[in-house]
Each structure stands twice: as C-alpha cells, then as structure tokens.
Amino acid sequence: MLIIPAIDIKDGKCVRLTRGDFEKKKIYLDNPRDMAIIWRKQNAKMIHVVDLDAALTGKPVNFDKVKEIVSVLDIPVQVGGGIRSVDAVAQYLDIGVGRVVIGSAAVTNPELVKELLKRYSASQIVVGIDAENGIPRIKGWTESASIKDYELALRMKKLGVTRIIYTDISCDGMMQGFGFESTKRFAEKAGMRVTASGGVTGSEDLRKLRALEKYGVDSVIIGKALYETNFPCQKLWYNYEKGMNLDRNFSSALRRECCS
C-alpha cells in the first residue's frame, strides 16, 4: 500500500481544508516546497499536490509553487486542481510532473480525457472522483454531477483510464476515519486500480485499507493525519524538520541528500 502525502496549495501556502470548505483552512507552512522536502525526508515515494485556487478558477494560479516542488524532489509528483485543457496538462508534464489528475473535466468534458490518452500514457493521466453519497462533486466541490461515482469511473475506463483517485468527501479532513464502505463499494463496481483518499486518521485505517487491496485499492493519499503527526515516530521527525530554518541553502543540501 503506497502512502502518498498530500500538499494542498491556497494563496501560495500549504494548507489543509475540512471537507473541502475553503472557509475552514489551516495553514501549515508558508512555502509548499519546504513541506515537500519534509515529506521526502520522511521517505515519501510520491507527492500529491493540489492547486486549490485552480480548482475554483480553472487557471493554474499556483503553477510556480508546483514547479518549485518538482525542482527540489527526486520522486514523482502528482498534480491536480483545475486542470481542464490539453495545454494545461502539457504545461505540467513539461516541468517534470509525473501524473496529472483530471477532476471536473472528466464530467464536463470527457472528450478531453479521450484526447489526452491519445497523446500520453495512462500512467500519466489519472482521473480524480470526489464523491459525496456516491455522487461526484466538481468545480472545487461546489457543484454536483448528474452521474454516480462508479458510472463515471466505468465511462473513463472505456476511454482508456486505468487509475482513479477516489475521495469520500464526507470523511475528508474530519480526522474520524476514512470511508471504508464507500471506497469498497466504488472499487468493486469500478474494477480499476484505485488510490483511496480522504479521512485516513491513523494506523488502524491503514490496516483496514489493506483489506481493499483485492478490489484494486493499492495506494492512499494522506493529508491532515500526517500534518497532525498521527502516526508512530512521525512527530519526532516532523518537529525536527519544521523547527529548522528551511532556507535555500538547507533546501539544496537536503535535496542532495535525498538524491544520493
């Protein structure tokens, strides 16, 4: 089960939201790049980045911040949030992003996904389905789609998509456990590789997730639980890294260490 730390960017800062509510945000670090360095130092093998401002506007508001993250890491970076055109995808892939996540556009413009899969491999283009009570939410979770979550997944599967990032919105950022039943139901019906997301609170949730591997759930994105150091031994690492002055020289030194 691959664990993927999440970095959400709003107004250029690293934040976490509660159930996607932009009014309920908590700032963890002013520079998302420094957060990426911390997660890499803690042995992350992939980082999931979301441009929250872009999710609302459809424009890559925090593109430069994403570029900074890619530049200091030696592991794949997966990016989502407001990516709704071929040009936007190309822009991210050109700076070294490993995977691009298509969310709202999978509902509003499925032809975009079809076109992207003609140009790029299925490993580079994944679809994010953020659902509440089985119904996908789009445009920064401000609107509901008129299709069920697994129906959307099957539609994407026909186009050639092989992986879905599935988020149960009702659990996201609540620190009360992830949506086991909703994720299981979705994975069973979709029959695809699934990255779970939203609500993982501690080691017990990870144990439960292992039971879903037989349904195709092979990875999980974790946000707030990591930031709040809910896992054994993590607090020591986190406090040590956060307490240091992550200036450019330190960042460069840490990057060299990570790459060695």
pLDDT of 99-157, one tens digit each?
A: 999 998 999 999 999 999 999 999 999 999 999 989 999 877 778 888 999 999 999 99
Give the CA diameter of the chain.
50
Among 70, 66, 69, 105, smallest CA distance to 86 is for 105
- Would you mind telling me the total number of residues written for the chain in this entry? 260
Count of structural domains, the chain = 1
Residue 17 domain-assigned (yes or no): yes
Round the average pLDDT of the chain to a whole number and report it: 86
Among 21, 7, 15, 26, smallest CA distance to 66 is for 7
- In the three-class reduction of DSSP (H, G, I as helix; E, B as strand; rest coil), residue 135 is classed as strand
Comparing 203 with 192, which gets the higher pLDDT?
192
Residue 259 domain-assigned (yes or no): no
Residue 220 domain-assigned (yes or no): yes
**What gap in Å lies between CA 92 and CA 58, rounded to an integer?**
14
Residue 255 domain-assigned (yes or no): no
Q: Which residues constitute the domain of residue 97? A: 2-250
Give 224's pLDDT tier (boundaries 50, 70, 90).
confident
34 is annotated as an active-site residue? no
Report the CATH number at residue 140: 3.20.20.70
pLDDT of 8 higher than 90: yes
Centroid of chain to Cα 191: 21
51 is annotated as an active-site residue? no
Residue 185 domain-assigned (yes or no): yes
Tokens 């107004």 locate to: 11
Q: Which of 34, 51, 130, 149 is an active site residue?
A: 130
Kindly give, in sequence order, each residue whose CB lies less than 8 Å from that of residue 142, ignoring residues fewer than 6 positions away: 56
Is the model's pTM score more than 0.75?
yes
Residue 180 domain-assigned (yes or no): yes
